[in-house]
Chains A and B, each alone.
Chain A
Amino acid sequence: MTLLVSVFAAVISTVLWYKNAPKSEMKLGILCWLFWGASLMWLVDAIFEYAELKAAYFAPDPADMLNDLFLGLSVVALALVIWLVILLVKDPKGVVKNALFRKKAG
């Protein structure tokens, strides 16, 4: 479930990145790298788990599935926070800078 949430997040962020390209004002590329990197690593995790559990891998307990979904959503929330912090620090549109420095009138 965590892998699934991560892959969906990766696909959505990549589509948004492509739609806004070549502009990178929103730094959406950061989200793409975070989610694709995690998706690839969780894919390996899933393969090893499948090798161990076989068909049972596809029939998890509802409680485990819920916990994994909760984890997946928390991972998405963490990635969004990381992205937001980088966006505000890099401030490609100069919004934060403009809020801190006001032009002198006249």
Chain B
Amino acid sequence: MACFVVPAVEAIVVTVVRKVMEKKEKQPEEVDIVLDGVPEKTHKMPFSGKLKWLTNLLWGGSVLLAFEHVWHGEVVPWFPFLTAASDPADAAEMLHEMATVGVSMAVLVTLVWLAMVGVSSVIEKRALKAEPAKV
């Protein structure tokens, strides 16, 4: 009914947090690493860069799910935009769906992102440990 609203709200919040973080972040950490057998100076991806993965997933999913809701006639281009919002019984059902399905969507996307951050940290550490560049 309107489950995509929950991840969309999370997307807005995380985008704002990322923008603030980008402004506060200092120069990205410089790392010496061997890439394809050639020692190179690289910049480690800042946390805001990894946070962008989360906003990309949330925005991408929310946009396509919003289209699905338009397809099913649950979202309309006139006030109150959500067809379920005009009827109290439907509105209650919609809120229940947002609290269950919507929250689960946001949680799953965030968990997948956390896993991506974890795996990327392991890859970064392994790269630095296995092939330390000679300075």
Contact = CB atoms under 8 A, between A and B. Distances in A.
B8 to A, nearest CB: 10
Contacts of A30: 60
Contact of A37 (B58, B67, B68, B71): B58
A71 B105 contact: no
B112 A40 contact: yes
Nearest to A49: B101
Interface residues of A, number: 25
A25 interface: no
Interface residues of B, number: 24
What is the predominant secondary structure among interface residues of chain A facing chain B? helix
A42 B7 CA distance: 12
Contacts of B82: none
B109 A37 contact: yes
Contacts of A79: 64
Interface string A23-55: 000000110011111111111110110000000
Interface of A: 2, 6, 29-30, 33-45, 47-48, 71, 74-75, 78-79, 82
Interface of B: 3-4, 7, 53, 56-65, 67-68, 71, 100-101, 104-105, 108-109, 112
Q: Which 3 A-B pairs have the closest CB atoms?
A: A37-B61, A37-B60, A33-B56
